A and B are shown apart, each in its own frame.
Chain A
Amino acid sequence: MEPDSGDNGMSTVAGALASTASINRKEKAVAASLVEMCTVHLGSTLFGVPITHILEIVGAARPQPVPLAPVFVGGLVHYRGDVLTTVSLRQLLNMPPKEGRQDLLVLESAGGIFGLLVDSVGEVLTVSSADHEPNPSILDERRRVLFAGAYKLKDTLLVMLDPEQLEPMRLSAARAA
């Protein structure tokens, strides 16, 4: 589908929808239009998180480790009066831990607010759903659940993350299964 002015109008509507409720359903509406993605670097891969899910980006977070927590838990951070549980994308993808500073995305999902620890946060890109392709079948099963396909950029691929799938309770349920 070609992005045109009509599609732009839809994205505004979708944005408004997202702010009210039903984040899940909105995903489908957005898929037919332009999407704004916050890019995230992790190792050599470029990931994208739809900005409609992002509440805040916190630079150089210092998470407090939680003993006995599931592996993917990156620790706790203090965020506006609440204590947020963070998910470490590195630990989730079984990558070696990174030395030095990490950035934190505060994400909102149907299951609540949580943090996502990444190596660093990059710019915001507008991508078109026309460039989107689903997860390739050669991806391992675990990643197939976490990733929501990829956008073909000019010189690289932007792997889309689905915040709903990254929610800690959901991850913990998936691990138990």
Chain B
Amino acid sequence: MDELTREFLIESQEGLDRMERCLTDLEERPQDAGLIGDIFRSVHTIKGTTGFLGFKRLEKLAHAGENLLGLVREGKLIANREVITGLLQLLDGLRSILKTIETEDAEGEGEDVVLIGRLEELQLPAQAAVKQLAHAKVSAQASSAAPPVPPAAEIKPKLPLAEAPAPTPDPDQGAPGTTASTQGPVTASESAPVAALSTPAEAENDPARQRAPIVGTAAESTLRVDVTLLNRMMNLVGELVLTRNQVLQATSADPNMTLLSRRLDMVTADLRESVMKARMQPVSNIFSKMPRIVRDLSQSLGRRVRLQVEGQDTELDKSLLEAIKDPLTHAVRNSLDHGIELPDVRLAAGKNPEGILKLRAAQEGSHVIIEVSDDGAGINVDRVRQKAIERGLITVERAAHLAERELLQLIFLPGFSTAAAVTNVSGRGVGMDVVRTNVEKIGGKVEIDSRTGKGTTLRMRIPLTLAIIPALIVRSVNQSFALPQGALSELVHIPPEQAATAIEWIENAPLYRLRGKLLPLVFLDRLLMPGVEHKMATERDNFIAVLDPDGRRFGLVVDGLADPEEIVVKPLSAVLKYIGLFSGATVLGNADLALILDPGSIAMKAGIAMREEGLVQAAETEVEADAAKGLEYLLVEAAGRQAAVPLTEVLRIEQLPVSRIEYIGYRPVLNFEGQLLPVEDSGGVLAAVQDNPKAQIIVVVCREGNRHVGIAVSHVLDVAAGGDLFEAGTAQRTGGVTLLKNRVTGVVDLGGVAPLPAGEQASAEWSQTVGTMA
């Protein structure tokens, strides 16, 4: 395919995308001249360009559409529903031909007689009413009969120029000459002889006019870049990040290199951010496809639906955007098919006959949330339960134990569909499980919320970028492995002396009691090297990483932990993907290679089957039921006394040597990831170990308002739901204490942690004090 055709394809596709957006808007504002003009230009540009590229079939179809649009533009035809439907069909027709050109480099054999006939039929009311019809017809024939003229004569020198008496149009003249185009092509061709002249000029002028605004504004500051080039750049930046890490490690001892390596560090970080930014695209790229889908579906299903879109500017990595297109479309289809009721049903239920479908995107930390919500009938939980039992997805006993929310999540199981009849929209039982699989494939999560009679919300949590993910580096079989933090919920350390009692066995199945519930364990070394003698759990440290991929909860036992790292994911060759346990590889800061573990596949390989999900969920239900009674707290022990910290405020728990604690005056502070954290020591933990600089203490890092504070404790005991306590007599709720595991426990007052002195002067003072104290 030559460069010209490729450019034509890209431009036409963009034009058609714009046309699609405008068409759905037009339905709401049929008189909007700007919209009509936009649509007209899109079709017209295609027609004009196809002429000299020699795509006759495309030209013919575009021409028929242009005629119809011309009438609409002149106000001789109202853009009613039929017309818009016809134009949408035209859009599909044009798209399919463009697709054929893209794949086969030819426009294919098909005939568009039916579609063209339909487009002509739509012009009829206008033709009957308007006298100029004849002119329009003439001009139509004239323009289709006129030989297509190339933008510059050298493209097709053999073209009979004599037939186009107009001087060979000069693109340079055409581009700024946008004023000429205010004269509509149809009006310009009122009389046939003029038409013959104006058509070539128009065919030339118009692409130029189309390009003109872009040339003037966007084209100077934007550039089309091939995605593969961006991918390559991302790869190279990842490489640079790794090299930088190695340079930093190697030069850390050399004072001469410090400045240089610090600059390298900064430049690399900036570069990485810029390249990642270059890959970002607004979600409007996929949201904009939805109005059309909603329109077509609601018409075919007899629904009345209004689409509301929020957060269109939210940006997401391009590859992720591609990946959520299908799940999103599916969710929208589902909402229309199963969610929003028919207008009369809605009326009977006392609702507005017009249903609302809402698409919302928002960024939350390192994730983007995408929600599809409707105000329809909601999901009937009893039907879900019944269906799940019918299909053998869960047993009757388990179903009875599940809470409503858990039952709802069952619709994500393969082979589940509640549609009474299979419609061609959805309901083939390959619905929501595909949504879940697709979203989880890119490291996202999906959940559903529904209230009978009120509506349903499907929420997708998508990581901002795929290329670089946070991971915990674990050790096993004398190698490092990267464990993506997305699936990791907590870590449990079992020292060798406790292993014999802490790890329990049913025959040869190892289990661990995690807060009273049995957690199946998978030993990574035994999984990776079967048939080899491994150290017993009692002869080494055991770290249980509690993982929860696709609802298969299990503990992965490794022999060591290293620091968490931001890793750059590199794909594995097909032969290694086939092993199934690894999702990729990465290069660590110390230049070692590490394989990236795939928790889902490990669960499957180890036989942590889906059927256990019901059990686990039932277990979680109880935890949640507990939680419903009150806030969850982290139970800590400081110098012999127990205290509670609200779990929602806990950011992380750090174990560190007491020597890391520094003092500003008498105030203990922690230099935590480059930021200063005030450490609260009301329990006297620091004082107790002050003489022993090697002693380890635990600092619970909490959020308090918009600052972070640390609480020094000697042990972290458990997580439990707190109960409210009421003062005897007054029956007023007491503050500052909670009932935790049937013991009255004081809640740490995070707000009471005195703030660090603020201001420049103060900070200068501190650094002095810190210097002298440390």
Contact = CB atoms under 8 A, between A and B. Distances in A.
A78 B587 contact: yes
Given A64-B592, A65-B479, A80 B573 contact: no
B587 A85 contact: no
Contacts of B570: 81-83
B528 interface: yes
Interface residues of A, number: 23
A59 to B, nearest CB: 16
B740 interface: no
A76 interface: yes
Contacts of A64: 479, 592-595
Given A64-B479, A68-B579, A83 B585 contact: yes
Nearest to A170: B575
B234 to A, nearest CB: 10
A81 B579 contact: no
A81 B584 CA distance: 13
What secondary structure prevails in chain B residues at the interface with A? mixed
Given A64-B593, A66-B579, A168 B573 contact: yes
B482 to A, nearest CB: 12
A7 B475 CA distance: 57
Nearest to A168: B575
A73 B235 contact: no
A83 B568 CA distance: 11
Interface string A64-90: 111111100100111011111100000
A78 B582 CA distance: 17
Contacts of B593: 64, 76-78, 83
Given A85-B572, A112-B573, A67 B235 contact: no
B490 to A, nearest CB: 25
A114 interface: yes
Given A76-B593, A78-B587, A80-B239, A68 B575 contact: no
**Size class of the contact patch on chain B:** 20 to 34
A19 interface: no
A84 B576 CA distance: 11
Instruction: Name the residue among B235, B477, B595 with the largest chain A CB count within 10 angstroms.
Output: B595
A58 to B, nearest CB: 14
Interface in B553-607: 570-576, 578-579, 581-582, 584-587, 591-595
B236 interface: yes
A157 to B, nearest CB: 30
Nearest to A171: B575
A85 B239 contact: no
Contacts of B259: none
Nearest to A172: B575
Contacts of B238: 81
A114 B581 CA distance: 21
A67 B528 contact: yes
Interface in B225-260: 235-236, 238-239
Contacts of B1: none
A85 B573 contact: yes
Given A67-B477, A81-B238, A82-B235, A169 B573 contact: yes
Contacts of B578: 172
Contacts of B506: none
Contacts of B576: 66, 69, 73, 76, 85
A172 B440 CA distance: 29
B757 to A, nearest CB: 47
B113 interface: no
Given A65-B479, A77-B593, A78-B587, A169 B235 contact: no
Given A81-B235, A81-B238, A69 B587 contact: no
Instruction: Name the residue among A76, A85, A171 with the largest chain B CB count within 10 angstroms.
Output: A76
Contacts of A82: 235, 570
B529 interface: yes
Contacts of B528: 67-68
A167 to B, nearest CB: 9
Instruction: Name the residue among A67, A76, A85 with the largest chain B CB count within 10 angstroms.
Output: A67
A81 B232 CA distance: 9
A67 B574 contact: no
A76 B592 CA distance: 10
Contacts of B584: 83
Instruction: Name the residue among B235, B571, B573, B587 with the largest chain A CB count within 10 angstroms.
Output: B573
A45 B587 CA distance: 34
A92 B502 CA distance: 44
Contacts of B477: 67
Interface string A138-177: 0000000000000000000000000000001101100000
B584 to A, nearest CB: 8
A80 B238 CA distance: 11
Contacts of A83: 570-572, 584-587, 593
Interface in A38-53: none
B238 to A, nearest CB: 7
B239 A68 contact: no
Contacts of B236: 81
A67 B579 CA distance: 9
A64 B585 CA distance: 11
Contacts of A169: 573-575
Instruction: Name the residue among A69, A78, A82 with the largest chain B CB count within 10 angstroms.
Output: A78
Contacts of B592: 64
Nearest to B574: A169
A175 B571 CA distance: 23
Nearest to B581: A68
A80 B235 CA distance: 9
Contacts of B574: 168-169
B148 to A, nearest CB: 36
B292 to A, nearest CB: 40
Contacts of A85: 572-573, 575-576
Nearest to B575: A168
A69 B572 contact: no
B681 to A, nearest CB: 44
Contacts of A172: 575, 578
Nearest to A87: B575
Nearest to B476: A67
A82 B573 CA distance: 10
Closest 4 CB pairs of A and B: A67-B528, A81-B239, A85-B573, A64-B593
Given A67-B581, A85-B575, 20 more contacts: A64-B592, A64-B595, A65-B479, A66-B579, A67-B477, A67-B528, A69-B575, A73-B575, A73-B576, A76-B585, A78-B587, A78-B591, A82-B235, A83-B571, A83-B584, A84-B573, A85-B576, A114-B573, A168-B574, A171-B575
Interface of A: 64-70, 73, 76-78, 80-85, 112, 114, 168-169, 171-172
26 contacts: A64-B593, A64-B594, A65-B479, A66-B576, A66-B582, A67-B479, A67-B528, A68-B528, A68-B529, A68-B581, A69-B579, A70-B575, A73-B575, A73-B576, A76-B576, A77-B593, A78-B587, A78-B593, A80-B239, A81-B235, A81-B236, A83-B585, A83-B586, A84-B573, A112-B573, A171-B575
